[in-house]
């Protein structure tokens, strides 16, 4: 009977211990799934397509179909083989992949623009490293055939002006079907994609070619916007475009002295706001900026590069929006922009991704709860609350 008396508690304890371990596993998996999957849906589902000012609340299907749903993001900076810890690379790329795939599924944009610096080491990566980076990019930013994805070149993709070569520009163009100074039209909306790295103004071959192409596109757009009677002679040999003022897409922002006047929670940190920007490095030069404004008279400019948000009004009428980095590696609160655009109007809305410190806080809180549960489990006569209270009392006594 004595032997039987001891076997029952052992069996009971083993069963209880197995149940406790299973509960801990379920709790841990739940926290992991929330932080690595569900949190992206919880945050991005709050994003929505903005309504145009002229669009009635109950727009007809015909009106809705004429609106282009565009998504804009920038500075993904996929790490290469030279810099960055493998864990850093894994963590940041998983964050961007989940954010992008969730945004595609929830928002279903028609077109996505990435405004440069897709890669971090494209300016010096070898052919093999470049191929590996491209493969990872294509996995992360995969998209259905119904969504068009267009990438703009940035300085980390081909190098700053002094590092830029025809070879680097060509391999970028082959992967992303990007042509410097290219114009595309979607639903009657003209987008001009600018290789802002080539706006050096020093007469280099790539720079001369870029400026000549921009002048040609400017002429084509101006002929399309003018009345037929005014442009009959000098525009007779020009292929007409939809008569819509263009939207400029580029990596470098147009010239501004600093980010001192930029506002918002995702603008530059206070210690960097008064940093004086260097022309042709942080921003496009004054001269090139004025040329772009004079050539195209754009109704909107979208740029990246600074990793922080900013809204600027050029010449008192042309808005430029700098889009922050899409990666946790560059900021705690990444974001992207969605836009409802027609040939004559546009409306933009900023969508934030989960904050990195929110995810870390959830993990730390979950770790603390697990620790308390485990310690309390080995003191079955003390409830978790009293166990924690006892620990605090002992700590204060010390």
Using 50, 70 and 90 to split pLDDT, how confident is the model at 344?
very high
pLDDT digits (tens, 9 = 90+) for 244-301: 999 999 999 999 999 999 999 999 999 999 999 999 999 999 999 999 999 999 999 9
pLDDT at residue number 82 = 81
CA distance linking residue 25 with residue 115, whole number of Å: 42
| CB crowding 281-302: b at 16 or more within 10 Å, else e | ebbbbeebbebbbebbbbbbbb
Closest of 295, 294, 296, 299 to residue 345, by C-alpha: 299
Closest of 244, 306, 302, 225 to residue 272, by C-alpha: 306
pLDDT at residue number 4 = 45
Q: Which of 30-39, 226-235, 349-358 has the lowest mean pLDDT?
A: 226-235
Phi-psi region of 39 (alpha: psi -120 to 50; beta: other; left: phi over 0): alpha
pLDDT at residue number 114 = 97
Average pLDDT over residues 339-366: 96
Per the confidence metrics, is the pTM higher than 0.95? no
Phi, psi at 29, each rounded to 5° = -65, -40
- The answer to whether 153 touches 111, Cβ cutoff 8 Å, is no
Average pLDDT over residues 90-112: 96
pLDDT digits (tens, 9 = 90+) for 110-164: 999 999 999 999 999 999 999 999 999 999 999 999 999 999 999 999 999 989 9
């Amino acid at each position: 009977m004595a032997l039987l008396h001891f076997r029952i508690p052992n069996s009971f304890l083993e069963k209880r211990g197995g149940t406790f371990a299973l509960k801990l596993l379920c709790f841990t998996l739940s926290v992991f799934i929330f932080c690595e999957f569900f949190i992206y849906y919880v945050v991005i589902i709050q994003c929505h397509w903005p309504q145009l000012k002229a669009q009635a609340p109950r727009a007809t299907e015909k009106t809705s179909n004429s609106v282009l749903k565009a998504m804009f993001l920038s500075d993904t900076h996929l790490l290469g083989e030279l810099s960055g810890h493998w864990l850093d690379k894994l963590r940041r790329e998983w964050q961007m992949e989940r954010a992008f795939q969730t945004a595609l599924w929830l928002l279903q944009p028609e077109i996505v623009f990435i405004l440069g610096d897709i890669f971090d080491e494209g300016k010096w990566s070898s052919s093999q490293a470049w191929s590996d980076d491209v493969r990872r990019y294509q996995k992360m930013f995969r998209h259905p055939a119904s969504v068009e994805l267009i990438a703009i070149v940035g300085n980390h993709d081909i190098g700053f002006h002094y590092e830029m070569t025809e070879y680097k520009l060509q391999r970028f163009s082959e992967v992303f079907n990007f042509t410097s100074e290219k114009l595309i039209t979607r639903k009657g909306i003209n987008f001009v994609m600018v290789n802002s790295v080539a706006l050096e103004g020093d007469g280099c071959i790539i720079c001369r070619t870029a400026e000549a192409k921009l002048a040609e596109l400017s002429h084509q757009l101006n002929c399309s916007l003018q009345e037929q009677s005014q442009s009959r002679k000098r525009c007779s040999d020009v292929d007409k475009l939809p008569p819509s003022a263009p939207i400029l897409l580029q990596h470098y922002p147009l010239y501004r002295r600093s980010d001192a006047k930029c506002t918002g929670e995702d603008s530059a940190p206070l210690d960097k706001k008064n940093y004086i920007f260097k022309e042709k490095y942080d921003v496009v030069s004054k001269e090139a900026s004025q040329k772009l404004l004079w050539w195209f008279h754009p109704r909107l400019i979208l740029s990246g590069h600074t990793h922080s948000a900013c809204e600027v009004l050029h010449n008192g009428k042309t808005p430029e929006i700098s889009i922050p980095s899409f990666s946790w590696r560059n900021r705690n609160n990444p974001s992207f922009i969605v836009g409802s655009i027609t040939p004559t109007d546009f409306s933009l809305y900023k969508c934030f991704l989960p904050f990195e410190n929110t995810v870390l806080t959830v993990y730390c809180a979950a770790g603390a709860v697990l620790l308390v549960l485990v310690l309390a489990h080995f003191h079955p006569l003390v409830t978790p609350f009293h166990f924690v209270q006892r620990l605090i009392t002992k700590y204060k006594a010390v």
